[in-house]
Structure 1
C-alpha cells in the first residue's frame, strides 16, 4: 500500500517495514523460532552453545575484577533459551548472580512472554533503547541479530552506483534503480573496482547499533559479542534473502510473513568499534570459537552423564562446529575494553 501511494522505497525501508511494522511486521507476530516456525538458531540446537557463552562472559566479568554490578544485555533474545543456558553456568561463579543486572532488547510480545517464563528468577528488564542500559559495565551478546537489521543495496551501472529500490510493475512488487547515480569515488574502497551490475550492500543500521553500543562500552567498560553469518572483509555481492517455513522464499512475496536477512559486514563493524576505542579481536568462525571454549570436552561430559542421548549430543555438536554445517558460515565478533582477553579468540 505504501509503495502504491508514495512511490518506490529503498530496500532498507522495505526490510524495516516487513520486519518491524507495529501490527504487521514479521517480528511483531507469533514465535518464528523452532520446527514450527521459520528457522532454528544455535541455542535451540543444543544447551552447549549457551553454556559455553555463559562461561565466556563470566570469565570476562572476573577479568574486570568481579564488579559488584554488571549489566548483561542480549539483543533479540528469542525464546530466552540462550540466556537461560548462559546464566545456568555464569551464576555458579561466586558473586555473579548478586552483581547481575539483566536487560533484554526485544519487541515481540509473544517472545517476551517466553523470555519471562525462562528468565523471571533473574529479574529481567526489557528495554527498547540502548540509553536504558544503566551506568555499570556492559556485556552484550547478539546471536543472529545484526543480520536482521535493514541494509541498503547499490547496483553499478555505466554512470555510477544506483540505489536499488522496490516499486510496482503491473501491480506487482519489483526491483528497480534510483535514477540518480552515486559516483564510484564516494563509495567504500571495496566497491571501487567492481564489475558492471555488481551489487554492494551497506548496513547503515548495523553500524549505528554498533556505534551506540561501543560508545557505552568505551565509557563504562565491558564487551560486545556478536554471532552471525557474514563475511570477514567488505565485498560486493547480493546476500539479501527470505526464509519461510525453513525454506528460501522470494523477498518480495508475503511481506510480514517472511523472515528477511542479509550477511553482516564484519569489517565495517570492526571499524566502528575500533573508532570508539574498543579492541576488536580477530574474527573467529563459530566452529573455532566453540572448539576453543571446550565444546568437544563438554559434549563428552554430557554424553557420559546421559548415555541414551549421546548420539543426539554428537549430532548437535557436529551441526554447531563442522564446516559443512554452521561452523564456517557463522562468524564470531568480539570488541572489548582494552586490557580484557576474551576467551575463544586467537591471540
Structure 2
C-alpha cells in the first residue's frame, strides 16, 4: 500500500473535478478559514509564542493553508507575523502547486524534519493514506493478508502484534502501525516543544472489526488491487487507537468527535452565510458546500476531529465538553 500511494501522488494532482476526489478545502473556503482561526485562538492559549511553527501534513494544492492564512491575517495579524510556515509534502507536482499559493513556505518529506519549537499542526485527510496491515480470523486463529499478483494472500503472521483474543470467523482486524508511529512522533514533539495537532479524517470513533481498504478513481469506487499506483487507495483512521497512543505517551487527546459538530462549533455555517450574501450568484453553491461538510449524511458524521496537545494546554476550541 505504501508504494502504491507514493506512486499515485508523485506525479499527479488528484484533487477536484478533473481528479479522483475532492477534499473539504476544495468544497468550501470557509473550512480553511475556520481552521485558521482555530489555530489563532489555540496560539493565544499557548501564550502567543513567536516564532510558531504552523505545519500542515499533506497540504494538497495548498488551498486549506491559503484560506487559513488569509483569515488569520485579517483577524489576528500578530499571529500571522509569528508564523513560520512548514509543509510536509513528498510529491514534486503538489509542491509546485503549493508554492504558487504559499510563497515563503519550507517543505519537508517527513514531519520529523520540521525544526523544534512550539507548533500547531494540521493533518486533513492525511492519515487515511498511510499504510495498514490487515489480519483475518480463520478457524480460531489470525492470518495476515498480503497482496500478490493482484489478489489477497492469507498467511500465518510472523512476529504478529497483539491481536484480539476472540473474534468471529472471517473478522478483519486492521492495524495502522504507520498512523500510530506518526501519533507518537507528534506526541513527543508536542510534549517537548508545546502546541497542538488537529487531525481531520474519516473513520470510526470506536475500535471494531471491519475491512475499510478502499480506492477511488474519477470520483467513483475502484478496485484497490487492480492498478496499484493509479488509483487513490485509503483506509479508515482508527481514532480511538490514536487517542489512546497519544495519552499513553503523555499528551492530552480531545475527541474524536464528528467533524460536522466540530465545524459548527467553529462557526462554519455562519461564515458560509456571510460568503453567500457577498456573492449572491454563487450563494447556492456556497451554502450547499458548507452543508456537505457538516451534515450527517454528508461528511459530518463519517469524518472525525481529534486534537492532540501538550498536557498543560487548556481544551482547544471546538472540543469543549457539552
> TM-score interval w.r.t. the shorter chain?
over 0.9
> Residue 57 of structure 2 contacts residue 123 of structure 2 at CA under 8 Å; is this kept in 1?
yes
- Structure index of larger Rg: 1
Paired residue for 2:162, among 174, 187, 190? 187
Q: What is the match of residue 162 of structure 1?
A: 143
1:346 is displaced (CA, Å) by 3.2
Kept in 2: contact 1:274–1:280 (CA 8 A): yes
Contact preservation (8 Å) 1:161, 1:182: no
Q: Which residue pairs with 1:12 in the alignment? A: none
Which secondary structure state, in structure 1, belongs to the residue aligned with residue 59 of structure 2? Answer: coil
Q: 1:277 aligns with which of 246, 250, 272?
A: 250
- For 2:51 and 2:60, how far apart are their aligned partners in 1? 25
Query: Are 1:215 and 2:201 counterparts?
Result: no
Cα deviations by residue, 1:272-322 (Å, 9 ceiling, x for unpaired): 211222111121111101100011211221122222222111111111111
- Contact (CA 8 Å) 1:161, 1:181: kept in 2 or not? no
- Determine the structure 2 residue equivalent to 1:7: none
Q: Work out which of the residue numbers 113, 121, 141 in structure 2 matches 1:140.
A: 121
Aligned position for 2:238? 265
Question: Aligned with 1:67: secondary structure?
Answer: coil
* Structure 1 segment 1-347 matched on structure 2, within 5 A: 15-20=1-6, 25-92=7-74, 93-120=76-103, 123-168=104-149, 173-180=150-157, 187-188=162-163, 191-337=164-310, 338-347=312-321
Tell me how large the CA RMSD over aligned residues is.
Answer: 1.5
Q: In the TM superposition, what is the alpha-carbon distance from 1:181 to its structure 2 partner?
A: 7.7
Q: Deviations over 1:130-179 (max 9, x none)?
A: 332112201110000000000000000114101001123xxxx2111114
Alpha-carbon distance in structure 1 between the residues aligned to 2:136 and 2:308? 31
Given that 1:227 and 1:332 are in contact with CA atoms closer than 8 Å, whether structure 2 keeps it comes out as yes
Secondary structure of 1:113's aligned partner: helix
Task: Structure 2 unaligned segments of length 5 or more: list them.
Answer: none
Cα deviation for residue 180 of structure 1 reads 4.9
Which structure 1 residue ranges, 4+ long, deviate > 6 Å from structure 2?
none
* Alpha carbons 2:269, 2:291 under 8 Å: kept: no
Q: How much does 1:94 deviate? A: 3.3
Q: TM-score, normalised by structure 2?
A: 0.95
- Tell me how many residue pairs correspond in the alignment: 319
- In structure 2, what is the Cα distance between the partners aligned to 1:178 and 1:101? 47
Q: Is the 8 A contact 2:57 2:111 kept in 1?
A: no
TM-score (norm 1): 0.89
Partners of 1:160 and 1:63 in 2: CA distance: 49
Q: Does the CA contact (< 8 Å) of 1:160 and 1:181 recur in 2?
A: no
Residues 1:204 and 1:98: Cα distance change in structure 2 (over 3 Å): same
